[in-house]
Every structure is written in structure tokens, then in C-alpha cells.
Amino acid sequence: MIGKRLSAAKSSKAEAPVAPTTGPKHVAIIMDGNGRWAQKKGKIRTFGHKAGVESVRAVVRFARQNGIESLTLFAFSSENWKRPEEEVSVLMDLFNLVLNSEAKRLHKNGVRLQVIGDVEAFDAKLVEKIRKAEDMTKDNKDLVLNIAANYGGRWDIVNAAKQLASQVKSGEIDVQDITEDALNAHISTANLPELDLLIRTGGEHRISNFLLWQCAYAELYFTDVLWPDFNEDVFQLAVNDYNVRQRRFGLTGEQVVTADG
């Protein structure tokens, strides 16, 4: 089974790309299943991480071609440091390699790269590469690609709260000025559209401390497809599923229909 709501689709093939005006503007993906994909092939887990790079290229292509403005990928969580040392080391090496090989390609294709998370915990040389890639692509307009690295949703909220607390302490704002909008302004994705769709691959049904604040009204889509097998066709199925949902934001279905005319 590819997705939990694929009964709405009449075939396993992806339909034609949706019009940019009807689809999601901000999509996030939890890229899960690399290790299991490799183990099924009799390989070590890190083989799956390397294979997953092609899926990243595929989703970036799809996003650019289908009017998605922002794509946020969960590459390395703050909890992933607990994984075997060898696997963490390979992930860091892979991150370095991808930055070296992909940054210029992203720039050529009009993609702006942003890395969100506590990146200062990484090696100084890696941090320097991240900053150079961000600076090189900062004026690109076709797509914003956010790589969440050493990221956690709770960290994101706490970090925003600390910034507001600092402003209160310095007298810049009063406690009464702390609102949802004020906190949202300090969340790592504050410069992006609201999150519309969160996809998780690999068959798990949880969001694993990813974009907790941003997921408040996002649509969730879970697929059994392991990340290295995730391609444009599977992405299209997720978007098709999103497009037939009624987003209510606390309203009734009848109110939404009336508001839509």
C-alpha cells in the first residue's frame, strides 16, 4: 500500500501535475526508511542514506515544476546523534558531499537553500560550507529548499521563546506583546508560507518532533514507500490526496463551502 488514503486514486500511476494555483505552497517531508531499504537489499544502513540522495533530487524537481514555493526536508534530527557513531559519521560526510556537489546545481536552477536547526553544533568547516551555499543562493526565487539539520520541533519553539524572553528583559517589548504572531516571527520558518502538507515515508505514523508549531493545521500524509523509492509519481499521489481534502481551520464544512463561493 503506497498511502493510507489511496483508495481515492483509481490507479497506482500518478496523474498529470496539478495546476500551481491549486496545490500546496509549502510541503515538508520526513525522509524515513533509508536504513530498512538498505537492509532489505542485504546492505549496511548507510548504503540507504546514499541512495536517498537521488530521491532528494526528484522531490526538488517535482516541487519546482508544480508551483510549490517551499520544500522542507528533515535530514538530521537533534535525536539522531544517538545513532551508532559510524552511521552519524557517514551522515555528516554525506551532508558535506551533497553541499559540494549540489549547491551549484541548486543555484543554477533558481533554488534558494536554507538550513534550519542548531547548525552551530556541527564541525566548523561544515558550518562554513552551509553559510556559503546559503549566501550563494539567497536571491533565487523559483523554490526555497529548507534542510532541517540538527533540528527538533521543541528546540524551535524554545529558541523562539528565548528570543522573546530576551526582548522582554531588555525592555523592547512587554509580556502582553507575546502573542502567537510574535512567537511565530521567531520560528525558523517564519519567512515561509504556512505549512500545507507534511509527508512521512517509511510506514511510520508519527511526526517525530518535526515542525511541531508549523503542523498545527497542516494536512498529514503517510506512505509505506521507503525514502530511496520515493519519486515524482509518489509525490504526485500525495499532492492529489491533498487536493481533494477540505481544509476547515476550525470552521464547519458548510462554512468553508460558503466562503469559497
Pick the closest to residue 189 from 112, 118, 116, 106 (CA basis): 116
Q: Which residues is 73 bridged to in the sheet?
A: 29, 147
The alpha helices in the chain, defined as continuous H runs, are 34-40, 45-65, 85-108, 124-137, 153-170, 180-184, 232-243, 253-259
B/e letters for 185-204, b = 16+ CB within 10 Å, e = fewer, are ebbbbeebeebbbbbbbbee
Q: Are 237 and 9 in contact (CB under 8 A)?
A: yes
Q: Are 200 and 221 in contact (CB under 8 A)?
A: yes
Q: Are 150 and 78 in contact (CB under 8 A)?
A: yes
Catalytic entry in 80, 140, 184, 231: 80
Quick check: is 80 catalytic? yes
Quick check: is 229 catalytic? no
Catalytic entry in 32, 156, 196, 241: 32
Catalytic residues: 32, 80
